[in-house]
A = this chain, B = another copy of it.
Amino acid sequence: MSQTAISPTRAQDFPEWYQQIIRAADLAENSEVRGCMVIKPWGYGLWENIQRQLDRLFKETGHKNAYFPLFIPLSYLEKEAAHVEGFAKECAVVTHHRLEAGPDGKLRPAPSALLAEPLVVRPTSETIIGAAYARWVQSYRDLPILINQWANVVRWEMRPRLFLRTAEFLWQEGHTAHETEQEAIAETEKMLGVYEAFVREHLAIPVLTGEKTANERFPGAVSTLCIEAMVQDRKAIQAGTSHFLGQNFAKASGIEFTGRDGVKQHAWTTSWGVSTRLIGTLLMAHSDDDGVVLPPRVAPTQIVILPVTPKPETRDAVLAAAHQLAADLRAQRAWDERLTVDVDTRDLPGGTKNWEWIKKGVPLRVEIGPRDLEKGTVAVARRDAGVKEKSFPTMAEFTAGAVGLLEEIQAGLLAKATAFRDAHMVRIDSADDFRAFFADKAAAESADKAAGGFALVHWAGTGDDENRLREELKVTIRCVPFGDEFAEEGPCFLTGQPSHRRVVFAKSY
C-alpha cells in the first residue's frame, strides 16, 4: 500500500494528482457530453457556499440579481467588433427548434424548424444584457444599473479539465451601467477588491491584483483587471476578472441617456465575473497527497463526527453523545454562519470512513467511542495536520474551542499558501535568468510540469514579444500588478527599454 492516499503524488504528476483528488473526494466527473462536467453533491456544496457568501458581498455593495436569456441572437455578437473576434469562435450554436423522426426512423433536427437566425448559447452576456439596458435607460436618473446574474455559460473547449476549463460552467457575471467614466472605473476597481478579499478571506488564497496587457484583455474591454493566484505546481490561475468596458458595449447596444446637461450620451459599462474555476483554484492551492484540503469557511461540512460503536451494549450511548455533540456545535456560529456538522453513522469500518473524510478534506474529524464516553473526551484530528495526529480534549473543551479551531485552520491555510507564493515569486532581471527560471529540466520533460513560479520582471516589450515568449516558454504576462512594491524603475529584461513597474510572467491554467 502506498504511503499516501492519493497516487500519483503532487511531485510525481501534478495534473494526474489533480484528477485523482477530485475523484477521491467525489467532487465531480466528466459526463458523456464532451467537455461538460457533472458536479456531484460534495463539489456542488462547495459552490453553494461560494455562491451564498459572494452573493452577500455583492448585495452589500448595492447589487441586485436578475436573469437574462440563455440564447443570444447571432447578430448581437456581431455588434461589437473586438467581442465577436473573441467570443464568436468556439460556441454552441442552436439552429433548429424541433426534432422529428427522419426517413430511417431516427430522431433528427426537423428541416422545417430551421431558425431564421441561429442562436448562440451565451458564452458571456454583455450583448444580450446590453440590449435590455438600452431599453431601460433613458435618463441619467435611470443610472447606475447595478445587476448581477448567476448562470451557466458555454464555451466549447478542446482540452477540458474539471472545474478549471469546461465547456459548460457555472458563474456569476455582474453588468453595470454608469453615468460617468470615473464611476464605471471605480466600480471596476471596487469589484476587483471584493474578489481579492473574498478569495483571501474565504478561500484562504492570496492573489495578486493587477491589469491585463492588451494581449490578454477581454475582447471589447478598455481594460481588464484580474486576480491571479499561484497554485502548488507554481502555475498561475486567473481566478476572477473585472472589466472596464468604456462606451464600447454601450455604443454597440445603444445604451443612451439624456444627461444632466440635456445632452444625449452613451453610458459607461463594466462587467465582472468569477466561476466554478474558483473550485479548481482552491483544490490546487490547498490539497495534499492524501486528498483534498478545504478551507473551513467554504467546506460543505466543517466537522464530521465519527461514532465508534464496537459493542452493541454501548452503541446507543455513543450515538446519543455524538448527536448531542453535533447539536451543541451547530448552535454555534463561525463567520456569521452556523457550524456545519455531519454525524457519519454508516455501517462501515471506522478506517474506511476516516479515510473517506480525509480525502474529502473536511477540516475537523472527531471520534467518539465507548472509552471516550467514560473519560468524557473526544479524539480530534485536523485535516491540515498529519493524518495520524490527534488531540484529546474533553467534550466541553472541544465544543467551546471549535470555532477558534476552525478560524485557526482557515488562517493557517492562508499563511501557508502565502508563504508558498512568496517563496516562488522572484525578481528577475536578465533574459538568461528568465529562461532558466522557466525552462528547467522538469519543465522540459513535460509541458504540464511546472517550473519557476511568478517572475517579476521589468517589461517594455510589444504584444508580439509576448507572443514569442508564449511560444518559446509557454509563459504569459499574468498581470501588471497593483501595489507600491512593484513600482520600480529599471530596464526591460528583453528589450532593455525603460520600465516603471514590474510585471508578472508565469505559466498558467
Our pick among B43, B65, B96, B152 for the contact of A41 (Cβ within 8 Å) is B65
The complex places the Cα of A94 from the Cα of B71 at a distance, in Å, of 11
- Within the complex, the shortest CB–CB distance from A127 to chain B, in Å, comes to 11
Contact of A170 with B88 in the complex, beta carbons under 8 Å: no
| Chain B residue contacts of A154, Cβ below 8 A | 70
A45 within 8 Å of B (CB atoms): yes
Complex Cα gap A156–B100 (Å)? 14
Name, among A32, A39, A43, A106, the residue most crowded by chain B CB atoms within 10 Å (CB to CB).
A32
Known: A73-B32, A90-B98, A156-B97. A78 touches B106 (CB 8 A): yes
Q: Does A331 contact B (CB under 8 A)?
A: no
Q: Shortest CB–CB separation between residue A507 and chain B, in angstroms?
A: 27
Residues of B near A48 (CB, < 8 A) are 65
Segment with Cβ contacts to B, from A114-122, A171-179, A213-221, A289-297: A114-122
Complex A-B: 28 CB contacts under 8 Å = A31-B128, A33-B72, A38-B69, A39-B66, A40-B66, A43-B66, A44-B64, A44-B65, A44-B67, A45-B64, A45-B65, A48-B65, A67-B170, A69-B168, A74-B99, A84-B107, A90-B97, A91-B98, A92-B97, A92-B119, A93-B94, A93-B98, A93-B99, A93-B109, A94-B121, A97-B156, A98-B156, A121-B121
| Contact residues, A71-112 vs B (CB, 8 A) | 71-74, 77-78, 84, 88-99, 106-109
Closest to A156 in B: B97
Instruction: State the CA gap A368–B93 with chains docked (Å).
Output: 55
Interface range for A: 35 or more
Instruction: Quote the shortest CB–CB distance from A327 to chain B (angstroms).
Output: 15
Residues of B close to A41: CB separation below 8 A: 64-66, 147
With a cutoff of 8 Å between Cβ atoms, the chain B residues found around residue A95 in the complex are 93-96, 109
Q: How many copies does the complex hold?
A: 2
Q: B33, A71: Cβ atoms under 8 Å?
A: yes
| Residue ID in chain B nearest A41 by CB atoms | B64
* A31 (CB) vs chain B CBs: closest residue: B69
**Residue contact A77 to B107, C-beta cutoff 8 Å:** yes
Interface residues of A in 447-470 (CB under 8 A from B): none
Contact check, A36 vs B90: say whether CB atoms are below 8 A apart.
no
Q: How far apart are the CA atoms of A84 and B100 in the complex, in Å?
A: 10
Chain B residue numbers with a CB within 8 Å of A118 are 96, 108-109
Q: Which chain B positions have C-beta within 8 A of A84?
A: 107
- Which residue on B lies nearest to A26, using beta carbons? B136
A37 at the interface (CB under 8 A from B): yes
A431 within 8 Å of B by Cβ? Answer: no
- CB of A132 closer than 8 Å to a CB of B: yes
- Write out the residue numbers on chain B whose beta carbons fall within 8 Å of the beta carbon of A72: 33
**Is A38's CB under 8 angstroms from B132's CB?**
yes
Does A403 have its Cβ within 8 Å of any Cβ on chain B? no
Chain B nearest CB: distance from A436 CB in Å?
A: 39
Using CB atoms, name the residue of chain B closest to A89.
Answer: B98
A33, B128: Cβ atoms closer than 8 Å: yes
A54 at the interface (CB under 8 A from B): no
